[in-house]
Chain A
Amino acid sequence: MDNRPHTGITEELTTIAPLLARIPYRQPVSAPEGYFALFTSRMATRVAVVDRQMLPEAALQTLHQRLVAEVPAGYFDAFTRRMLSEVAAPQRTEIFPAWLRNIDEKLQAGLALIFRPRLVWAYSLASTLVLVGLLWFASPDGAACPQGDLLCQLQQIDEREIDLYMRNHADEFSEDAAGSAYNVDDLPAALTAGDIWLNDFTDEELEYLSE
């Protein structure tokens, strides 16, 4: 028996393929039992069918028996509401021109490339080294003078500090005060002798006398 949807096809086959024309028409595949009722309910749910009353009875039964057991209760309704609220949200208005957005995107990409999380330790170490180096070179002479090295300490005194000190202690630097500041008895013995040769003085002694 030919239950083919279009009977003219059998007549056509008879002329070009007689054996094929004699083979009874039958779908070569079949769907699992209840598939179509389930499919209707699944698709209806996916496209936000809230009113279940409109579903065919068979689809409702299958939905109740199978779908409810497969997903959390109310999942699809919540999902539908969430999706509807998302699509209903107003679109963001673009206020910047396209070329500016391109530059911004490239900048953001560049920064993201440089400040990758895996390089954070390397950047931290490098930053620390740079900071220590800056502090090192920022000190006046590179390092503190050894204890007891007066000459070194004197060299580190700024001229402005000396000038300020002298202004604040002007009375100590008057000629009288200067003259009374040194006791002749405290001078080296060579100065009291008749024949004094400069060569006999050490550099420190000469510097002391010149002051």
Chain B
Amino acid sequence: MIYVTDGSFEGILAAVFEAFRNREDPEEITLGGDFQLSIAAGIREIPTDTGKSDRVWRGVQNRISEKSLEDLYLAYLSEHPRVGLYIYRYIKLGLKLGHKVEEYLQHPDVQAIYDLSRRVSKEVHLFLGILRFKKLKNGVFYACYEPDNNITQLITEHFASRLSDQAWIIHDRKRDVFALHNGEEVVFTTGLSGIVHEDCEEEYEELWRRYFTTIAIESRKNLKLQRSFMPRRYWKHLTEKQL
């Protein structure tokens, strides 16, 4: 059976609820309506019922652990096509083992969640460093990026406390998600395409680029090492790489 969800975390948890209630192992739990049809499997549309998802949420908290819930959510943000199924399998195993499931790293279902959540938290940490703000002519700081995972919500908190007196915008161009900070609070929204074309101040960009090229030691040049830390796909929005 293929469970079709709306792609939200709550939607997936509701699907997990349904799977338990129907006593069946779904072959797939989709993230939204765009999925591969299979001849053998039937389709079950899962409405996002917060009553049901809340029960699973609390079940994980109480009968497995808070940490597991966090890991599941992080893994969810990877948007991996099979993450819905991995979440279901992890919860199923977790309800049997309790909090011990976190340590069951030799089990493929636990490993899957572990890998995905790590992938997401690694990218979060990387972008705390390599997100770049430009100062637009109107004084607003604007950062544009295209992360592999849906991490805007996770990195926003960091910048809200760090750059608390600035008005800024963080824009995930891949997902059309914006985080707006006005110096007091953060609001998430979509569809503000106009900002992308605004001019920015150049002076400090130029200084930064100069610093970046100067600080490298020529006789130690190692571009492969550089790319292993900062893969090329991220360069598009890095000020220092726009030479």
**A and B: partners?**
no
Mark B residues whose CB is within 8 Å of A.
none
